[in-house]
Amino acid sequence: QVQLVESGGGLVQAGGSLRLSCAASGRTVGSWSMGWFRQAPGKEREFVGANKFSDGNTYYADSMKGRFTISRDNAKNTVYLQMNSLKPEDTAVYYCAADPSIATMTRGACRYWGRGTQVTVSS
């Protein structure tokens, strides 16, 4: 069993930055893909991006490229989401996820999910 705990959410003004963290525990996920999703009020959950352990590449949804950066510290079993130039439309609950397969992850069918952390961007 894997537990994923997100932190770092909060309220920020438009144009500001936040860094979310997701710490994994329970078993090692060092060889798994880890990434982020978000769900805004009244909308479906959407893929933000994910890091694939096997080749170190990071994949982003097209709409997230440029402002969001995912990084990973395997020694700490932690993945990060750096968000810059935030906009009110980035307001959402951000979820961390882990899965052995990057393909499965990008489809949103991840094996493990965190409980989410709220990010609110004020205009």
State the pLDDT at residue 93. Answer: 98
Judged by average pLDDT, the poorest of 87-91, 95-99, 105-109 is: 105-109
State the pLDDT at residue 55. Answer: 79
Which residue's entry shows tokens 């968000």? 83
pLDDT in tens, 9-50: 999 999 999 999 999 988 777 788 999 999 999 999 999 999
| C-alpha to C-alpha distance for 82 and 123, rounded to whole angstroms | 20
| C-alpha to C-alpha distance for 28 and 120, rounded to whole angstroms | 31
**H runs (alpha helix) in 15-111:** 102-106
Helix-strand-coil split of the chain, %, nearest 5: 10, 50, 40
Give the Å distances, CA to CA, from 77 to 18, 31, 33, 34, 38: 20, 10, 11, 10, 21
Tell how strand 117-122 and strand 10-13 pair up.
Answer: parallel
| Dihedral angle of Cα 33, 38, 44, 49, to the nearest 10 degrees | -40
- Which tokens belong to 1? 């069993």
Which residue's entry shows tokens 């990071």? 58
